[in-house]
Amino acid sequence: MTHAGKSKAVRGIFYFIVLIIVMIQIYPIFWVICSSLKTSEEMTYTAQYALPSSFYLGNYISALTISAIPRYFLNSTIVAVLTLLGIVVLGCPVAFVISKVKIKHADALMGFFLFGMMIPIFACLIPMFQIYNALGLRNTYWALVLPQVGFGLPMCIYLYTGFFKFLPDSLLEAAVIDGAGMGTVFWKIVVPMAKNTTMTVLTYNFVFVWNEFTYANTFISSSEMKTLPIGLNDFVGQFGRVDWGSTFAAIVISILPTLIVYFILNKNIIEGMAAGAVKS
Amino acid sequence: MKLKKLAAAGLAAVMCVTAVGCGGNGGTGDKKEENTQKTQEKESGDNTDSEDLVINYVSARGETDAALKTLKKIAEMYKEDHPGFEFNVESIADRATYLQKIKILASSNELPDWFDADPEAFFEGICKKGIIYSIDDLYDELGLKDKFFDIALDYPKLSDGSNYLMTWQGNVEYFWYHTEMFEDAGITETPKTLTELLEACEKLKAAGYTPISAGNYDMIMRYPAFKAFRMAGNEFIDNARMGKEKFDSEVGIATAEYTQQISQYFSEGWTNSDATAQMDLFLNKGAAMLYTGTWDTPDLVDENKELKDDISTFKLPIDSDKDATTENDYYANCGIGTAVLKDSMTPAMKDFIKFVWDNFADMAMYEFDMLPSMMPSDPDKLPELTQQILKDLENCGTFAQCWDVRLDPSTNEVYRKELANLGMGESTPEEFCQRMDEAVAQYAPDYFDVE
Amino acid sequence: MKPRNKIQPALFVLPAFFVYFLTVIIPILWSVGYSFFSWNGIKDMEFVGLANYVRMFSDGTFKSAVVNNLKFVLLGSSFQLLAGLFLAILLSHIIKGSNVLRVIYFIPCIISSMAICQIFSKMLSAQPQGLVCYLMEKMGMDPIALLANSKTALVTITLIDGYKYCGLYMIIFYSAFVSISKDVLEASIMDGCSLIQQYRYIKLPLIKNIFSIVVVMLINGCLKTFDVFYILDNKSKSTEMVATYMYKTAFNSADFGYGSTLAVFLVVECLAAVFVIQRLLGTAKGEESE
């Protein structure tokens, strides 16, 4: 994408704006890292925007000793992977049937699933607790995965149907004429073409699944099953006094791997998204 | 692609099966198993053998909390002689999160063996269902009662005088202040009356200081009670919460007016500050006074356990000589208490609790530096300040009730909100009192027997 | 395409249907049931009919929460939409290092709300002085506690919430821009289209469909907004949202019946809002299932 007619000045201003935004977006993580390197004395007695005076690692040590961050990280990862898989594996076929297969009541089915988007999760907390408790699912990964899959499905189906709308019917019909069944058409043609949408669905849901707090707090009580957002509460002391140093250290420990993974996958994510983003 | 399909189909199948209710896999420490274990234990008769004692404790205390650390350590000691003993703690330090969880557990009849509570209306409702073991009875059975500070037995009492909570700590609340700022502002004596407190604030403000560091909303909710406690004692709130006394009364209005006046002297942005910011501001000499309890002492003392810098303390001032309460009556509390389910109170449980109290006070004081709810041995060896606090704890006459603990949960929500409106000058004292009365009329009958 | 038999489409739909039914539909119906009862979790449930609904419409806190929430929907969704779009446009004009920039722009989305809120409450705090108040003072203004002051709190929290989530919409817009065929753009440049004209007449119309998706996502998210408002609450009425009020009613006040009533209101409100948006944007849901 070249813009031959642009003067250098315009280009300069453009990069200046980009730089400012980068600084704004990067500031929180910079701030968290700085704060995690401060001693508690420093936290109290210096301005919160001051840089740390030394490279103090005590917060990291206490974060890792007070709470089992690696364990929480593993739990969060397992829950995220299962949830994302569940959403895509269950949601994509439904969207396919709704938009590409001639069935009765497709509209009603779509409406039924979209209804879930309107429901605030807290509304369901008490019934859910009673159901999962009766089924013996408390303190299992399923108690976290199932509701998130259920509540993730509407948006997933919505995004997929948005894409399938633009998938030419002729393409599918041609395959059917060649003798392909519905399963083959779905797995061999539709799924690969929807790669981009899949990436959108995954990215969108990952953000929410990774930070999910309510279900984890409600359904999990064993410390071996805690997820990261719950784990951050390990540092709240008496009468609401929070050990912020350790909390920030824990946040840094929990963000970095995510950022690294995201950085590596990022190219694929965007390419995937771009390749399949709604063509019109 | 085939493999992928297979995997996907398999996963979907597993998920469906689980959803339909085959579940219970994947989790460690599965509650269901524990429950069956517990029932089995009960079925096998009165099992005095403590080998099987398993305590599930949902605690409102954080992992770093001294009382919880003490308990865990005692549990470890106990385990040495009782190999089958388990003390499983789920710690939820964030109070709002904790209360949410307890409410869900209570409404689903899934309360754990031990859980934490304040003597408030929701907990009172749980006790009335007869599922909590009376701590009065327990202490009598174990012969522990006279060991505690009076307040440790009085503070957790419900409105009918019964007690269902073990309390672990002793706390006294003070105004902590910077003597230099007071001198600088020309205040020669610490305020003796509530009016003098306002005058002191005005002088400090004129001298360019922020008079009061405020941020911890639990502490801010004390201010409205100051005036009422002095004028009418705890009776005011105990009656007003049930509608037997109106907030829209002489005492109520005077109280609201005083609250509005003093909140003008709070640090900027107090409605959404927090306990840490409040302490930081005070320690940095950003404000002259701080009202908080002795649980904050570790921040206020130096390495010799004596007060830092120029910090000193004074107690809650009186109002006038016509007061219902004297300067020996002030805010003191025992922190959040712990309840034990009736069904879990086996002889083995009693044995463990006896063991806990035999060791608790000294270990809490000498190992984890926390003031316990009973006098530790050898108090003379303790630092001067600690001795002073222990003395105040022992000598406290009538301790003031916290409004947020006495009000029913729904009215309490209204109280939190209306207090912010009142303090920020968005409503008048009369409006505040009217809204409180409306809330009490609407909600209190659900919780209290209002005649 | 036509299915060969009736079973095949059912096999595609049923697993999702079951999970969705069990995890979403049953609990919400259960909750709707609670809304006709007065229940605090420990006492026996008492059937009160529509009393909770009557109470809702005369509840002052509820009314102000609805008004606040609508303000937030308007402000918040337009801010996030514009910020997301703006970032996406900037990003699509960067050739070198756009990979790194995309990660950076996405950072606030990944950090937990609790951390983001803590950072902002420290930055905006007046006492102890945070960065923003420090700058205000340097510029000769009277520092105000933006988050505590009931006049500024709503707008401030709206911006913080937008800051946290705009990266998400940036990614969606960006991938839409990237997917626009290069031929179309080159042709337009040949025709002498300026950059602004390019967006006005080609790029934005081409991603119209994405717009409607994003708007629905935004309005929905804003109506149900919870976490940032809950954490940065200034206790007074000025920052109360319907979802935070519902949460406090149910879990702080243990008033599960009335809490469920508020939840039902929220569901109806979301349905109505989405219906209106779909009408306005002229893409009724039904069309997608041709």
Q: What is the 3-state secondary structure (H, E, C) of chain C?
A: CCCCCCHHHHHHHHHHHHHHHHHHHHHHHHHHHHCCEECCCCCCCEECCCHHHHHHHCCHHHHHHHHHHHHHHHHHHHHHHHHHHHHHHHHHCCCCCHHHHHHHHHHHHHCCHHHHHHHHHHHHCCCCCCHHHHHHHHCCCCCCCCCCCCCCHHHHHHHHHHHHHHHHHHHHHHHHHHHCCHHHHHHHHHCCCCHHHHHHHHHHHHCHHHHHHHHHHHHHHHHCCCHHHHHHCCCCHHHCCHHHHHHHHHHHCCCHHHHHHHHHHHHHHHHHHHHHHHHHHCCCHHHHHC
Number of domains in chain A: 2
The answer to whether A85 faces chain B, any CB pair under 8 Å, is: yes
Confidence of residue B15 (pLDDT cuts 50, 70, 90): very low
Question: Identity (one letter) of the amino acid at C210?
Answer: I
The answer to whether C112 faces chain B, any CB pair under 8 Å, is: no
Is residue B403 helix, strand or coil?
helix
What's the CA gap between A141 and A79, in Å, rounded?
A: 6
Partners of chain B (3+ Cβ pairs below 8 A): A, C
Closest C-alpha among A100, A116, A118, A210 to residue A161: A100
Question: Pairing state of beta strands B86-91 and B332-333?
Answer: unpaired
Same domain, A51 and A66: no
The answer to whether A123 faces chain B, any CB pair under 8 Å, is: no
**Is A241 in Cβ contact with B63 (below 8 Å)?**
no
**C87 contacts B247 by C-beta, under 8 angstroms:** no
The single residue listed with the structure tokens 């593993």 is A74
The answer to whether B303 faces chain A, any CB pair under 8 Å, is: no
Q: What is the pLDDT of residues B157-193, one digit of tens each?
A: 998 889 999 999 999 999 999 999 999 999 999 999 9
Judging contacts by C-beta atoms under 8 Å, the chain C residues touching residue A83 are: none
**Is C43 in Cβ contact with B413 (below 8 Å)?**
no
DSSP B62-86: -TT-HHHHHHHHHHHHHHHH-TT-E
**Is A151 in Cβ contact with C93 (below 8 Å)?**
no
For the sheet with B337-340, list strands across it.
Answer: B86-91, B54-59, B114-117, B337-340
What's the CA gap between B401 and B394, in Å, rounded?
A: 17
Q: What is the pLDDT of residues B263-277, one digit of tens each?
A: 999 999 899 888 888
The answer to whether B5 faces chain A, any CB pair under 8 Å, is: yes
The answer to whether C99 faces chain A, any CB pair under 8 Å, is: yes
**Is C125 in Cβ contact with B277 (below 8 Å)?**
yes
Considering only CB atoms, C256 lies closest to which of B99, B107, B419, namely B107
Is residue B205 helix, strand or coil?
helix
Residue C143 lies in a domain: yes
Q: What is the pLDDT of residues A50-78, one digit of tens each?
A: 888 888 898 999 888 878 888 998 999 99
**C200 contacts C62 by C-beta, under 8 angstroms:** no
Considering only CB atoms, C213 lies closest to which of A24, A151, A162, namely A162
The answer to whether B81 faces chain C, any CB pair under 8 Å, is: no
Confidence of residue B115 (pLDDT cuts 50, 70, 90): very high
Min CA distance, B444 vs chain A (Å)?
24
Residue C120 lies in a domain: yes
Q: What is the pLDDT of residues A14-26, one digit of tens each?
A: 888 888 988 888 8
% of chain B at pLDDT higher than 70: 88
- pLDDT exceeds 60 at position B18: no
**Is A235 in Cβ contact with B30 (below 8 Å)?**
no
**Is B27 in Cβ contact with A138 (below 8 Å)?**
yes
Question: Identity (one letter) of the amino acid at A32?
Answer: V
The answer to whether C216 faces chain A, any CB pair under 8 Å, is: yes
Write the ipTM. 0.82
Q: Is the backbone peptide bond immediately before B119 cis, with ω within 30 degrees of 0? A: no
Residue B434 lies in a domain: yes
Q: What is the pLDDT of residues A172-194, one digit of tens each?
A: 888 888 888 888 888 888 888 88
CATH code at A85?
1.10.3720.10
Give the model's pLDDT for residue A237: 64
The answer to whether B233 faces chain C, any CB pair under 8 Å, is: no
C-contacting residues in B 3-22 (Cβ below 8 Å): 12-13, 15-16, 19-20
What's the CA gap between C127 and B122, in Å, rounded?
A: 35
The CA distances from residue B236 to A90, B123, B228, B432, C284, in Å, are 60, 21, 7, 16, 60
Judging contacts by C-beta atoms under 8 Å, the chain C residues touching residue A19 are: none
Min CA distance, B418 vs chain C (Å)?
7
**A66 contacts A235 by C-beta, under 8 angstroms:** yes
**Is A141 in Cβ contact with B12 (below 8 Å)?**
no
- In what helix (H) or strand (E) does residue B244 lie, and over which residues does it extend? none
Judging contacts by C-beta atoms under 8 Å, the chain B residues touching residue A136 are: 23-24, 30-32
What's the CA gap between A234 and B110, in Å, rounded?
A: 23
CATH code at C189?
1.10.3720.10
Domain limit, last residue, from B354, B372, B390: B372
Token pair of A230, please? 């719950």
What's the CA gap between C172 and A270, in Å, rounded?
A: 9
For residues B79-100, give the mean pLDDT: 88
**Is B93 in Cβ contact with A236 (below 8 Å)?**
yes
Structural domain range at position A100: 60-276
Residue C4 lies in a domain: no
Q: Which residue of B has its CA nearest to C42?
A: B107
Same domain, B229 and B270: yes
Residue C17 lies in a domain: no
What's the CA gap between A215 and C45, in Å, rounded?
A: 25
Interface residue of C111, C203, C227 to substitute, partner A, most A CBs within 10 Å: C111
The answer to whether B100 faces chain A, any CB pair under 8 Å, is: yes
Same domain, A24 and A158: no
Structural domain range at position C232: 23-289
Instruction: Tally the residues of chain C.
Output: 290
- pLDDT exceeds 90 at position C67: yes
Residue C15 lies in a domain: no
Q: What is the pLDDT of residues C35-62, one digit of tens each?
A: 999 988 888 888 999 999 999 999 989 9
Token pair of C66, please? 């609805």
Structural domain range at position B283: 171-332+400-446
Number of domains in chain C: 1
The answer to whether B13 faces chain A, any CB pair under 8 Å, is: no
Judging contacts by C-beta atoms under 8 Å, the chain A residues touching residue B100 are: 217-218
Number of domains in chain B: 2
Residue C3 lies in a domain: no
Min CA distance, A24 vs chain B (Å)?
24
Token pair of C70, please? 């609508």
CATH code at B199?
3.40.190.10
B354, burial (CB in 10 Å: exposed 0-12, middle 13-18, buried 19+): middle
Same domain, A72 and A47: no
The answer to whether C26 faces chain A, any CB pair under 8 Å, is: yes
